[in-house]
Amino acid sequence: MKGAQLLVKALEQEGVETIFGYPGGAIMPVYDALTESPLRHILTRHEQGAVFAADAYARVTGRPGVCMATSGPGATNLVTGIANAFLDSVPIVAITGQVPTGLMGTDAFQEVDIFGMTMPIVKHSYLIRSVEDIPRIIGEAFHVAREGRPGPVLIDLPKDVANAETELAALFEMPRPGTGAADPAQLAAARQLIRSARRPVLYVGGGVGIAGAVPEFRAYAQASGIPVVATLKGLGAVPTRDPHFIGMLGMHGTVAANYTVQESDLLICVGARFDDRATGRLDGFAPNARVIHMDADAAEIGKLRQTDAALLGDLRTALPALPTDLSISDWQRTCRQRKTAHAWRYDAPGDGIYMPDMLRRISAADRDLTITCDVGQHQMWVAQHCQFDRPDQHLTSAGLGAMGFGVPAGIGALIANPGSRVLTVSGDGSIMMNIQELATLRRYDLPLKILLVDNASLGMVRQWQELFHNERYSEVDLSDNPDFVQVAKSFGIDAFRVTRRDEVDGAIERLLHAEDAILAHVCIDPTANVWPLVPPGQTNDVMMEEASA
């Protein structure tokens, strides 16, 4: 058996069903082995599309996504997606071809040191030098990717190792130990802090969904009645319609959520990492609050904010151990009143399309809709105005903020859960980053719905130039965009344009009920901004709001 065949058998042993990739010279032996394998390969039209699709596949299934590329440019085209998975704690296994071992270090054709290049953005990486090591390395790679705090693992496979022959080795299986329970002394301290708090807040991040602890978190939030705020990745940990949910916090968080956190006397941080977009100026974040930090990754605890109790380990066992018999009725009433007082308004004047309202209505029309999102103003509008009942309904590039994520992520979500309803919300800047993946949609008949928000500019950059750079607009004009309806149709994708508010109802109906892939090109006011906004260097209770609000 050749090394490439052994690698494919090891992937099958790990339960892999789908690989996203793009072939080339150094990885060709593995593609040859795939012809005799039941593994399904999805050919994207760019390696970045492959890794983003694998990322979304992992977020939906909870299993490591697998992507594959050749050496040199194939491998380097994976780097952005690997970094995205690293910052969002997504388990992926990226397999790259490499030049033969005898040519390594000679600047051979399509040779780059992808092992060294990706070292800061992977949990672990492997350069396979012996065919006999393939089963062990595959087993270890999947173990490392999924255990503890998940993340990406890179496997670099030289072509001569892929072609080398060996006796069929026994396939390798790693043990799967549990994460462990929290320290009893720290748990006791946390219980005391919660019982003595009068203004506690549950600050939830993406770690709750990653840990599979959504039922436990919801049960604790419901039983304790503690108000909940979420990071961008924490949305859906409790249904965003839940009365205990105050909103997303941070730079573009809700007024109610930011004020609530700032006034709290106890922050129970569950699977979040005190990211700068959530905290604003860190030394002024929740200034009077004690902190309980619950996480599976010891490196995050105390990294940015000193903790009063650290619960390291499995959230599923720690959450039920926390007390629920609290006396916080006055605080609950204050939070409810604040949430009502600062509720979103959707009665924007004029005949133009008000995107927050359109997104709200789309979300209300289909509560099972999964939304994959690109990066920019539309990403924040989705987070603010769409409703999510589960974390895996909202797939977004949170930590890296990578434009071009949306369409490939929609592909990965549909492959992961055939028959599901998936909407990609993209911008006229973002969609051009990976627009070639419309061909992938067409090839595999994937019924992705695409809402393309077109403000003829790089909207988020333009907003910051308007507010913080004295309206000195530099390289944000996209008024020479192509005709996106015609572009989509040239790929065989149905498409239509929406320019007026009175067309929105029909557009939503057509978009959501299309049986095949479809793109709605929605033209909005180029000057529309995202509000509220915490300016750089300010605390979260200093928020800029729309002048007319």
CATH code where residue 92 lies: 3.40.50.970
- Is there a catalytic annotation at residue 486? no
- Same structural domain for residues 362 and 332? no
What share of the chain has pLDDT > 70, as a percent? 97
Angle between helices 504-513 and 355-365 (to 10 degrees): 40
Exactly one of 379, 460, 491, 496 is catalytic; name it. 460
Specify if 86 maps to a domain.
Answer: yes
Question: What is the per-residue pLDDT for 173?
Answer: 64
> Residue 171: which pLDDT band, with cuts at 50, 70 and 90?
low
Confirm if 542 and 392 have CB atoms less than 8 A apart. no
- Same structural domain for residues 366 and 462? yes
Cα–Cα distance, 491 to 400 (Å, whole number): 29
- Same structural domain for residues 77 and 197? no
Cα–Cα distance, 3 to 14 (Å, whole number): 17
- Same structural domain for residues 330 and 392? no
- Same structural domain for residues 13 and 150? yes
- Is there a catalytic annotation at residue 303? no
- Same structural domain for residues 266 and 144? no
Specify if 13 maps to a domain.
Answer: yes
Exactly one of 2, 9, 123, 159 is catalytic; name it. 159
Q: For residue 513, which amino acid is it?
A: H
- Same structural domain for residues 68 and 24? yes
Specify if 536 maps to a domain.
Answer: no
What is the rounded average pLDDT of the residues 425-449?
98
Give the least confident one: 1-5, 177-181, 242-246. Answer: 177-181
- Could you tell me the CATH number of the domain that includes residue 214? 3.40.50.1220
Q: How many domains does the chain have?
A: 3
- Same structural domain for residues 335 and 415? no
Question: What is the per-residue pLDDT for 170?
Answer: 66
Structural domain ending residue among the three candidates 133, 163, 193 = 163
242: tokens are 């839940």
Specify if 96 maps to a domain.
Answer: yes
- Same structural domain for residues 211 and 314? yes
- Same structural domain for residues 373 and 297? no
- Same structural domain for residues 86 and 226? no
Question: What is the per-residue pLDDT for 549?
Answer: 42
CA end-to-end span of the chain, whole Å? Answer: 69
Specify if 544 maps to a domain.
Answer: no
Specify if 485 maps to a domain.
Answer: yes
- Same structural domain for residues 264 and 408? no
What is the rounded average pLDDT of the residues 147-164?
97
Identify the sign of the CA torsion 327, 342, 363, 202: negative
For residue 408, is pLDDT > 80? yes
Q: For residue 472, which amino acid is it?
A: R
Structural domain ending residue among the three candidates 132, 163, 194 = 163
> Residue 450: which pLDDT band, with cuts at 50, 70 and 90?
very high
- Is there a catalytic annotation at residue 339? no
Q: What's the pLDDT tens digit per position in 485-517?
A: 999 999 999 999 999 999 999 999 999 999 999
> Residue 320: which pLDDT band, with cuts at 50, 70 and 90?
very high
Specify if 176 maps to a domain.
Answer: no
- Is there a catalytic annotation at residue 109? yes
- Is there a catalytic annotation at residue 110? yes
Specify if 323 maps to a domain.
Answer: yes
Closest alpha carbon to 532 in 524, 540, 523: 540
Identify the sign of the CA torsion 455, 457, 458, 459: negative
What is the rounded average pLDDT of the residues 204-222?
97
Domain that holds residue 462: 355-523
Exactly one of 110, 222, 332, 436 is catalytic; name it. 110
For residue 178, is pLDDT > 60? no
Exactly one of 14, 47, 216, 437 is catalytic; name it. 47
